[in-house]
Amino acid sequence: MNQQHHDERVRIREAMDRLLTGQATASNGSLTIVALAAEADVHRMALLKRHVDLKNEFYERVRTETHQVPETEKRLRETVAKLKTAIADQRAEIEELRQQVTRLTLASAVLAQQSDEQTRRAPAPDNVVPFPRSAD
């Protein structure tokens, strides 16, 4: 580990402590990665790429020390709840469409049968001579 990498890690840990104690100096004080990066004076992507362990440690400390759920987890939970609702709605719609297909199929069969019966019962026009059926 080079010195710059080590210095970043030290700044991130110090920033964690400040945020968790409510003594932010360089950020808005929210318990997010964006605020942590601003507080530590490192690029946000450094936390997401090089210091993933510190990001995870920060979120774990947010949960245990403040008894709060991190903002990203709240948003994910809301998204999951919305998606579950959407899936349930779609399943209900699919079931309704399946039932409608069944009803339309039955209605089509009834109409086809009625049409066949009407065609057989209809008298032949005066100018049509029916051919006698041959016994096979």
Per-residue pLDDT reduced to its tens digit, 72-116:
788 889 999 999 999 999 999 999 999 999 999 999 999 988 887
Q: Which of 38 and 119 is assigned the larger pLDDT?
A: 38
Exposed, middle or buried, 38 (CB in 10 Å: 0-12/13-18/19+)? buried
Distance (Å, whole) CA 42 – CA 4: 11
Examine the pLDDT at 122 and tell me if it is beyond 70: no
Overall average pLDDT of the 59-67 stretch: 85
CB 39 within 8 A of CB 30: no
CB 19 within 8 A of CB 27: yes
Examine the pLDDT at 3 and tell me if it is beyond 90: no
Examine the pLDDT at 129 and tell me if it is beyond 80: no
Distance (Å, whole) CA 84 – CA 30: 29
Distance (Å, whole) CA 29 – CA 34: 10
Q: Which of 129 and 92 is assigned the larger pLDDT?
A: 92
Distance (Å, whole) CA 56 – CA 28: 20
N residues, the chain: 136
Examine the pLDDT at 29 and tell me if it is beyond 90: no
